[in-house]
Chain A
Amino acid sequence: MADYELILFKNMARPGYTGSLEDYQGLGGYTAFEKVLKLSPGDVIEEVKKSGLRGRGGAGFPTGLKWSFIPKDHKGPRYLCCNADESEPGTYKDRQLMERDPHQMLEGMAICCYAIGAQKAYIYIRGEFDLGAEILEKSIQEAYKAKLLGENLFGSGFNLDVVVHRGAGAYICGEETALLESIEGKRGKPRVKPPFPAIHGLYQEPTVINNVETLANLPYIINKGADWFSGIGTEKSSGTKIFSVSGHVKRPGNYEAPMGVTLREIIYDFSGGILGDKQLKAVIPGGASAPFMTPDQLDTPMDFESVAAAGSMLGSAAITVMDEDTCIVWAAKNLMEFFHHESCGKCTPCREGSAWILKILRRIEGGLGQPEDIDMLEHLCDGIGGKTVCAFGDAEIGPILSTIKHFREEYETHINEKRCPYRPDAALAMAH
């Protein structure tokens, strides 16, 4: 693809850049925050709306529009929660943004807080990110010392406190209302919506929840303008996106590129192609929740609309690559183990359905599948999709339905031959 400029990784790509406040300010850091404090909050929201920025956590909801739902006349606190839970399998981009350039995200948070009138922000970081939490705490202390956080910032009268809140191991806490429950010291069980968090969020006050990568874009949108940002990427998916590539590729990694870059370019150019120069068999384009795609879809542009049109979703843009020797039933079983383990248990279809689906996938992979099992899987998925409080239910059936759709004959071979054709020792390999 044509040359392009990095936005989010630009600082950290410079030799010697440490992510310290000094380094960040040396490259213009916090000038956007100073600038927004002279604008009205409404103008900041308009600018972000105009930029076309959409949520980078998975759902792709327009960021400025989300902010505009916060009631203007609300008396009492409002909150920003930065979603740094990063738990979608395949995704490891926010970790890099937080550990390598923490102030970029903190400045984005400050801009958002000013726009929505929040004086307190929580960073919900997954519990396993010990190093990330340490780096963020240190960066926040740096910012307080430099009077970039705290009271009367830049003499504007605007106050802001930022708190790091660590999770403790639960995929579901990346779901925005489960995240709120978890900050409140409860089990991370999603809430019924409506009411939406913009009206009744954290501690029942108006709340915006934005992903790390979403927030990290804000300083540049403010400094360079909405028109500049909307000129990058595609018409409806503006800006760049960080693609986390994993699985059977030669150079796995986080690659930032304009939205609309093709799946082929990401896998074969950025990531160097398939390990051992094997053939590609299947790709998950947007984290474990996204339906599988196949090699004939390699020219799909990676933006929200195009991936949806191809029958999957951009999600968190985590691309998991599987070569020709991968057993698809095994891959689906692996993901179902994940979903079954992580189901919060609130909704019966998800809690029980994930167990049943996993049981059937295990017996198919183990050579004990029945001819009617494929229909049974589809029937179970039908009982889950759209019938749960949160999107987890729809997420967990994506890998099942898409693998049956694209690789039905592979399921049938397992059942007919009473064994896994790819992994004759499958029962031993991951028996735990």
Chain B
Amino acid sequence: MKLKVLSDKTKDRIEAEYPKYPDKQSVLLFALRVTQGEHGHLSEDAMVDIAELLDLTPIQVYEVATFYSQYNLKPVGKYFIQVCKTLSCALVGSGSTVAYLEAKLGIRVGQTTSDGLFTLKLVECLAACGSAPMMQINDRYYESLTEEKVDRILDDLKRDGRSDLATGPFMLPMMQGQK
């Protein structure tokens, strides 16, 4: 099997999932996730490779890739900022968070900064309603946002590629005598 763009490592990771399911198609969501992890987004070539690997038609892959909101069919910045806009967040100021991010980054929602570092997007409920406003950047949640906190998070990411302000195992309110 000759794959055009998928690396051997990604192919191995996808194939390692096969024993978990009675058929290969069930691995499709995972395959799209790891492929996006490798390439940053899902190109047509990558989707054709996945179809080849999973014995599917390209349209079977494409229709799934276009259904779920986490798959990017176009490139995004190194840090993909997704701010929740649904009611609980909106009630306590996600609109201001978005306006602050737009001004700070010099971009509008849907755009990427010219250095390719940050893309800003609005998303629907991410199940962090009690610690609103919140945003997800790549794989991690950042909650109970203030302007100062947003500043620190973006500085951390630019400097270290990560931030300690990401949420750990979730508990609200804290019940273990912690703050």
Contacts and interface: CB of A to CB of B under 8 A. Distances in A.
Contacts of A277: none
Contact of A12 (B128, B141, B175): B175
A95 B170 contact: yes
Nearest to B177: A15
B140 interface: yes
B53 to A, nearest CB: 12
A89 B88 contact: yes
Contacts of B22: 77, 203
Contacts of B140: 130-131
A139 B21 CA distance: 20
B27 interface: yes
A169 B65 CA distance: 11
A233 B109 CA distance: 46
Interface residues of B, number: 57
Nearest to A256: B175
A99 to B, nearest CB: 4
Nearest to A99: B169
Nearest to B178: A15
B28 A429 contact: no
A88 B28 CA distance: 25
A422 interface: no
Nearest to B30: A166
Nearest to B32: A168
The residue in A129, A169, A284 that gathers the most chain B C-beta atoms within 10 A of its C-beta is A169
B20 interface: yes
Contacts of A12: 171, 175-176
B126 interface: yes
Interface stretch (A66-74, A222-230, A239-247, A384-392): A239-247
A166 B64 contact: no
Contacts of A95: 127-128, 170
B71 A334 contact: no
Contacts of B128: 92, 95
A13 B174 CA distance: 8
A96 B176 contact: no
A168 B64 CA distance: 10
Contacts of A310: none
Contacts of A341: 124
Interface stretch (B4-12, B91-99, B148-156, B157-165): B91-99
B32 A128 contact: no
Contacts of A13: 175-176
Contact of B122 (A99, A187, A322, A432): A432
Interface string B88-116: 10111001001000000000111000000
Contacts of B28: 185-186
A252 B144 CA distance: 11
A326 B91 contact: yes
Nearest to A344: B67
Interface of A: 9, 12-17, 19, 77, 86-92, 94-96, 99-100, 126-131, 135, 163, 165-171, 182-188, 203, 244-248, 251-254, 284, 288, 318, 320, 322, 326, 331, 334-335, 337-338, 341-342, 344, 429-430, 432
